[in-house]
Amino acid sequence: MRTESFSGIRGIYPADINEEICRDYAAAYLSLFSKAPKLVVGCDTRASSLALKQAVMSALPNVIDVGVAPTPAVSFAVRQYGADGGIIITASHNPPEHNGMKLLRKNGGVLLPQDMQRVIAVFHRGNLVRQVNQKIVDKHAHLLEMYLHYVLNLTRNQWVDAIRRQGFRIVTDPNGGAAAVILDEILKWLHVENISVNDALGIFRRQIEPTADALSSLPEITKKHNALFAAAFDCDADRLEIMLPSGKMLNGNQILALIVDEVLMEEKGIVVVNDATSGLVRRIAENHHADVHEVEVGEVNVVEEMLSCNSPIGGEGSNGGIIIPPGTVRDGILALCFVLRIMAKTGKSIEDLVAALPAYSTFSDQVKVASADIPHIREHIISSFPEHPIQYTGDETGGIKIRFGESFLWFRQSKTEAGTYRVIADAPDAEAAQALLGRGKEVLDMFTTRHAKLL
Phi, psi of 340 (to 5 degrees): -65, -40
Residues near 196 by beta carbon (within 8 Å), at least 6 away in sequence: 171, 172, 173, 174, 180, 183, 184
H or E, element range at 380: helix 374-383
Cα-Cα end-to-end distance for the chain: 28
241, 250 contact by CB (below 8 A): yes
DSSP 250-304: E-HHHHHHHHHHHHHHH----EEEETTS-HHHHHHHHHTT--EEEE-SSHHHHHH
Phi, psi of 243 (to 5 degrees): -110, 130
**Annotated active-site residue in 48, 92, 311, 384:** 92
Amino acid in the structure at residue 307: L
108, 328 contact by CB (below 8 A): yes
Alpha carbons 377 and 369: distance in angstroms, whole number:
8
H or E, element range at 368: strand 361-368
Q: Is 137 helix (H, G, I), strand (E, B) or coil?
A: strand
Burial of 20 (C-beta count, 10 Å sphere; 0-12/13-18/19+): exposed
Alpha carbon separation from 225 to 138, 149, 195, 219 (Å, rounded): 38, 28, 8, 10
Alpha carbons 411 and 426: distance in angstroms, whole number:
12
The angle subtended at Cα 311 by Cα 307 and Cα 317, nearest 5°, is 100
Alpha carbon separation from 295 to 241, 318, 385, 395 (Å, rounded): 23, 14, 21, 12
- What is the C-alpha radius of gyration for the chain, rounded to an integer number of angstroms? 22
Q: Is 35 helix (H, G, I), strand (E, B) or coil?
A: coil
Q: Is 10 helix (H, G, I), strand (E, B) or coil?
A: strand
Is 92 an active-site residue?
yes
Alpha carbons 308 and 300: distance in angstroms, whole number:
12
Residues near 143 by beta carbon (within 8 Å), at least 6 away in sequence: 66, 67, 69, 73, 74, 76, 77, 80
Residues with catalytic roles: 92
